[in-house]
Structure 1
Amino acid sequence: MSTSPISPRPLQKGQQTRAAILDAALGMASHMGLEGLSIGALAEVTGMSKSGVFAHFGSREELQISVIREYHARFEEEVFFPAIREERGLPRLSALFENWVRRVSVELDSGCIYISGAVEFDDRPGPVRDALASMVRAWHAALERAIRQAIEANQLRPDTDPLQMLFEIHGLILALHHDARFLRNPGTLDRARRGFARVVADYQTAASTSPSSASLPQE
């Protein structure tokens, strides 16, 4: 007996409304920062009442945390999940970095919540800072895991310090965001890619293949 495929269950009206509010909140936070979020401003943007927005989140703090989680979920979809389909080791690490660069390139007119949030909450303890730091640490853990896998595959030297290499890679992204978004310097994407190739070459074993243009695609 044949059966028809089960279609995904549509979101309930309340879930649809919450998703729409979150989408608007994410857009606001990308341009104005997490501190720019307020129940009142979001109600105005979405055409809802303040009480209607409040009912979905309960507080401004919970709204900010929900936005951080939504941003992280989208970051994973665009950066992490496509990369883990690549072979373990340098191919996967290169894909993680390249996807990250591409993500930054489309955020230049808005902003990266990981970076702007770190500036806003670096010295402000509390649940929002904890949520943001947790998401950033999860991403760093994925990069560190890819580095360790490259060491295990003998593509990087056995004495490679994964945390040092991670630090250098993250520094390239911060420099890219600063020079491209704040200074509007041309050629920053290529500079970041060349920097990554240089970092990898510094840690590579003689037996492994040098990063090719295929692993660091041009725009």
Structure 2
Amino acid sequence: MTTATASPHTKGERTRQTIVDHGVATAYRIGLGRLTIGELATSTGLSKSGLYAHFGSKETLQLAVLDEAATRFTDAVIRPALQAPRGEPRLRALFDRWVRSGTAREPGVCLFVKAATELDEQPGPVRDRLAAHHRALIATIETVVRTSDGGFRADADGRQVAADLYGVMLSFYLSHRLLRDSAAEHHARTTFEALLAALAPAPSPTCPDHATGNRP
């Protein structure tokens, strides 16, 4: 019986993934801008030359970390939510999973809020990539509203709903993380319910019941 050994390519991919995983956790703790190859060399036990072989530059490393964070958000929030029935159940599933990930302080999910305030005045490829990931989420929310199959008002504005939901979540993060407000989640859910109520389709007009035999 022989034991199969991993090819150098497979081993290299595993090493790269380990570095990126450390990168996500480190960026969540110290900020994406302070994430450097030297910082990761210390936390992973790898040499700087080894990290450069995988990424080549600090910028490439930061982009890889952002993409990994986006993948984690998609896996934890978006993809499961899109399995829910269209309309209110799907939007509610997205919101619930988003809140749950924030409450759990999942680094890959929460990194985007931290990085947004850190990079908003830092032009360059990393900021551009971060903005692209945020725009993709906004587009997803718009699509959820647009494809509700009658679950929302016919004139529902998906872009406005995305802006409102983003506002709810940013307020939740601020209250939950910085202010340590024990009512943060309650406030977020109350606001979300009001948002859903505003999206509800108008009730159909009732037809007079002629089966009773009553006549004016």
Q: What are structure 2's unaligned runs of at least 5 residues?
A: 1-5, 205-216
**Counterpart among 159, 173, 196 of residue 163 in structure 1:** 159
Matches of 2:114 and 2:179, distance apart in 1: 16
**Counterpart among 68, 72, 75 of residue 74 in structure 1:** 72
Matches of 1:110 and 1:96, distance apart in 2: 16
Q: Normalising by structure 1, report the TM-score.
A: 0.85
Matches of 2:129 and 2:109, distance apart in 1: 18
1:136 deviates by 1.1
1:205 deviates by 1.3
Matched with 1:145 is: 143
| 1:184 is the counterpart of 2:180 | yes
- Which stretches of structure 1, 4 residues or longer, exceed 4 Å deviation after superposition? 108-111
Matches of 1:110 and 1:63, distance apart in 2: 15
The count of aligned residue pairs is 198
What secondary structure is seen at the aligned counterpart in 2 of 1:31?
Answer: helix
What secondary structure is seen at the aligned counterpart in 2 of 1:12?
Answer: helix
Matches of 1:25 and 1:110, distance apart in 2: 10
- Identity between Structure 1 and Structure 2 (%): 39
Aligned residue runs from structure 1 range 20-99, under 5 A:
20-99=18-97
Matches of 1:128 and 1:41, distance apart in 2: 18
Amino acid at match of 1:131: R
Structure 1 residues 110, 66: CA separation in 2 closer, same or farther (over 3 Å shift)?
A: closer
Matches of 1:90 and 1:146, distance apart in 2: 9
Higher Rg of the two aligned structures: 2
Please report the RMSD computed on the Cα atoms of aligned residues, expressed in angstroms.
2.0
Kept in 2: contact 1:176–1:189 (CA 8 A): yes
**Counterpart among 125, 138, 150 of residue 127 in structure 1:** 125
Amino acid at match of 1:180: H
1:111 deviates by 7.7
What secondary structure is seen at the aligned counterpart in 2 of 1:176?
Answer: helix
Aligned residue runs from structure 1 range 190-201, under 5 A:
190-201=186-197
Kept in 2: contact 1:79–1:100 (CA 8 A): yes
Structure 1 residues 109, 81: CA separation in 2 closer, same or farther (over 3 Å shift)?
A: closer
1:110 deviates by 9.2
Matches of 2:78 and 2:185, distance apart in 1: 19
What secondary structure is seen at the aligned counterpart in 1 of 2:155?
Answer: coil
Q: What are structure 1's unaligned runs of at least 5 residues?
A: 1-8, 209-219
What secondary structure is seen at the aligned counterpart in 2 of 1:48?
Answer: coil
Q: For CA contacts below 8 A with separation 6 or more, give which structure has more relative contact order.
A: 1
Kept in 1: contact 2:68–2:108 (CA 8 A): no
Q: Normalising by structure 2, report the TM-score.
A: 0.86
Kept in 1: contact 2:141–2:158 (CA 8 A): no
